[in-house]
Chain A
Amino acid sequence: MIAKHIKNLPPSGIRQFFDLVLGMPDVISLGVGEPDFITPWRAREKAITALEEGMTTYTSNKGLFVLRKSITNFLEKRHNLEYDPEEEILITVGVSEGLDLIVRSIVERGDKVIVVSPHFVAYPALVEIVGGQVLYLKTRQEDNFKIDLKELKRLMKENPKAIIFNNPSNPTGTAYNTEELKKIWKVISSKDTLVISDEVYDELIYEGRTTSFAALDEEAKRRTILLNGFSKAYAMTGFRIGFACANKDIISAMTKIHSFAMMCAPILSQVAATEALRAQKEVAQMRSEYKRRRDFIVKELNRVGLVTPKPQGAFYCFPSIENFKISSLDFAKRLLFEEKVALVPGSAFGKEYDSYVRISYANTLDNLKEAIIRIERFLSKL
């Protein structure tokens, strides 16, 4: 009954593990991919008012103009990046939808797409659904999980249609500075390859200056599909609001699919997102809280014996469990059963990453402290 290419989609072992975690009470979870903060009140209040005022309709396919305009203004301020709010931006249902739309818009059967690994699970899956071929660009812990330019050059020889990468990265927390991005762009610009730049953690960077891939130069902007959204920095995962910025041809293709499959993003969420852009003070507070937790958890993980490079962004770190000679899934399962601490096995982010685990520090300091005590006790038994 089910189409073959859907049936074969990985990762199956991980799904079972997720179900185990979800079925177990009183777990301290370091496995959560969303903020532990609640959406800033001003954004919630705006949505409540909109509901009271009867805003319950569709919006235009591309999304409310006031939201598109607010976002393009924001990008101009933040990255000196200009997009036309009429034709170069589309409001999507989370970055997830944006990803799906861009892959469906540009990838044809047999097209090659580079995915930088370890990667967010949806990247290869979406490429495979449309019959594209994934070329994995593996990064290593000794390089702080940053792209190896030689390896990139090697894969570029295969004339990929696009490259998908996440800056800062889920699961490693790695963020590239402007100089590093320029070097990557120099290699990519030698071909016609498009850049799908998932920048959903862009506002959660704790040191160093970075920029949007699209802001590198005019040609980079022409070839980049900038994906971002409100889920992470604004703690709005449940609102499901993302956006895609790109040249008008690409946005118009994405809008076509979006208008058939989704129609538009929910109006209340769009209203809330417009207001959220004004909550920069709250975003800054959350950012400084994440930074402190990062400093705490990275120090503690290294102390208890998990080699963990210090990530620059997002709210994840990606420690190595290599010394313990155990698969990441077994490590995660035993830690769950023996100490009731949940984390995500590294193999979920690429099969080469079976000697890593992803730890999310989007959790209270008290929970992080208790988790460290339990992890330390667990490691002593391994």
Chain B
Amino acid sequence: MDEILEILETNARIPLEDLEKLTGKSKKEIEKAIKDYEKKGIIVKYKAVINKEKLKSSNGVVALIEVRITPQKDVGFDAVAERIFKFPEVKNCYLLSGTYDLLLTIEGKDIHTVASFVSEKLAPLSSVKGAVTHFMLKKYKEDGVILSKREKNERLAITY
């Protein structure tokens, strides 16, 4: 992977001047490369990873839903998936191998919101054969970042 992507993947907010110093490339080259990545959809979005457990005010719920679906002629799973992932409540949508087909992540303000999404929007779809909802209890690690407990590296401040 290109160095610029490697750096942005860990810190999307790094100033352009720092990128310049780190990669040895000129501002123009870097700006052009980033624009290209954005255009090609390689860089999709810049976002912050937020540890919502620490936000006292936020008491929303997250649910993972396993969905079994019937593929449609010619378009397979894609058309059904699209029908489902277009709901704004769906944060993530993956097609998986194994005992079910789609894995969704749903965020709602409480259990009832999620339950009504499943019963009123998802389950009635004719190609949905079944859904199993798991409510998330705790997040330990997200996007490669450990949320619960940081590893410490307590080096002596000066050594040869």
Interface residues of A (CB under 8 A from B): 18, 21-22, 24, 27, 29, 31-34, 36-38, 120-122, 170, 288, 292-293, 295-296, 299-300, 342, 344, 348, 365, 369
**Interface pair A292/B7, CB less than 8 Å apart:** yes
| Selected A-B contacts with CB under 8 Å, 10 pairs | A21-B157, A22-B157, A31-B157, A32-B157, A120-B160, A170-B160, A293-B22, A295-B24, A299-B21, A300-B21
B73 CB–A CB distance under 8 Å: no
**Interface positions of B from 135 to 154, Cβ below 8 Å from A:** 151, 153
**When the two chains form the complex, which single residue of B7, B21, B153, B158 contacts A342, counting CB atoms closer than 8 Å?**
B158
Additional A-B contacts beyond A292-B23, A293-B22 (14; CB < 8 A): A24-B157, A32-B155, A32-B158, A33-B159, A34-B155, A122-B160, A170-B160, A288-B3, A292-B22, A296-B22, A299-B21, A300-B21, A342-B157, A344-B158
Contact yes or no, A27 B157, CB < 8 A: yes
Chain A residues near B155: list those with CB within 8 A. 29, 32, 34, 36
A31: chain B residues within 8 A (beta carbon):
157-159
Closest residue of chain A to B152 (Cβ to Cβ) is A38
Decide: A296 and B158 in contact? CB cutoff 8 A. no
Assess the B160–A295 pair: CB atoms within 8 A.
no
Q: Say which residue of A18, A121, A299, A365 sits within 8 Å of B158 (CB atoms).
A: A18
Interface size class of chain B, counting residues whose CB lies under 8 Å from the partner chain:
10 to 19
**A22, B156: Cβ atoms closer than 8 Å:** yes
Q: Report Cα–Cα, A31/B156, bound state, in Å.
A: 9
Who on chain B is nearest to A121 by CB? Answer: B160
B116 to chain A, nearest CB (A): 41
Closest to A362 in B: B155
Closest to A29 in B: B157
Q: How far is the CA of A378 from the CA of B99 in the complex (A)?
A: 64
B18 interface contact, C-beta 8 A? yes
Q: Nearest Cβ distance between residue B7 and chain A, in whole angstroms?
A: 7
Contacts of A22 in B (CB 8 A): 156-158
Residue pair B18, A365 in contact (C-beta under 8 Å): yes
A32 partner, pick from B3, B18, B22, B159, beta carbons under 8 A: B159
* Shortest distance between the CB of B145 and any CB in chain A (Å): 14
How far is it, in angstroms, between the C-alpha of A175 and the C-alpha of B151 when the chains are bound? Answer: 32
In angstroms, Cα B153 to Cα A27, docked, is 15
B157's nearest neighbour on chain A, judged by CB, is A29
- Cβ of B29 < 8 Å from any Cβ of A? no
Complex: A24 Cα to B158 Cα, angstroms: 11
CB of A295 within 8 A of CB of B157, answer: no
B82 at the interface (CB under 8 A from A): no
Pairs of residues from A and B, 6 with the lowest C-beta to C-beta distance, nearest first:
A31-B158, A292-B22, A29-B157, A33-B159, A21-B158, A296-B21
Instruction: Produce 1/0 per residue, B1-44, CB < 8 A to A.
Output: 00100110000000000100111100000000000000000000
Q: Is B18's CB under 8 angstroms from A369's CB?
A: yes
Please, which residues of chain B bring their CB within 8 A of the CB of A36? 153, 155
